Each structure stands twice: as structure tokens, then as C-alpha cells.
């Protein structure tokens, strides 16, 4: 699965990082990006939960 964060939608709530810090990283202002678009094995469910928790719908998944 692939994941990316739409930087124009992200408002820096950090909920994604709180759920899956292995995939989501925050910049100094709290905005998220992904370390690698390819989700590591075993983290698909956490990434789906993070996407569902994002109030801005900024996390895009590509199965």
C-alpha cells in the first residue's frame, strides 16, 4: 500500500503521527509528511486508522 499527505490540506493536528509514528513525520511546525510512500509490512491497518482520524482528509491511500 502507498500513502501520501496532501500538504495543502494538512493543518498540523498530528493525529496521524500519534497513531503511526513509524510512517508519519512532523516538521517543526507540526505538519505531516511520510518518511516513505511505501507502507512497511504490518503497518497497513495503522495507516488506515490514521487516515480515518485525519480531520482534514489529507491522507491519501493507494492500495
List contacts with ligand SF4 (CB under 6 A).
5, 10-16, 32, 54, 56, 58-59
Q: Tell me how crowded residue 48 is: count the other CB atoms within 10 A of its CB.
A: 18
Smallest gap from Cβ 28 to ligand SF4, in A, equals 13
- Are 4 and 60 in contact by the 8 Å Cβ rule? The answer is yes
Rounded to a whole number of angstroms, the minimum distance from the CB of residue 47 to ligand SF4 is 11
Whole-angstrom Cα distance, residue 48 to residue 62? 11
Q: Are the beta carbons of 45 and 3 closer than 8 angstroms?
A: no
Question: For residues 22 and 56, which CB has a smaller minimum distance to ligand SF4 in the complex?
Answer: 56
Taking the complex as a whole, the smallest distance from the CB of residue 33 to ligand SF4 amounts, in Å, to: 9
Amino acid at each position: 500500500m502507498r500513502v501520501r499527505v496532501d500538504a495543502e490540506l494538512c493543518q498540523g493536528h498530528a493525529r496521524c503521527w500519534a497513531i503511526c509514528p513509524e510512517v508519519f513525520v512532523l516538521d517543526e511546525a507540526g505538519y505531516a509528511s511520510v518518511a516513505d510512500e511505501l507502507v512497511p509490512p504490518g503497518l497497513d491497518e495503522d495507516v488506515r486508522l490514521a487516515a480515518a482520524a485525519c480531520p482534514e482528509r489529507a491522507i491519501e491511500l493507494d492500495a
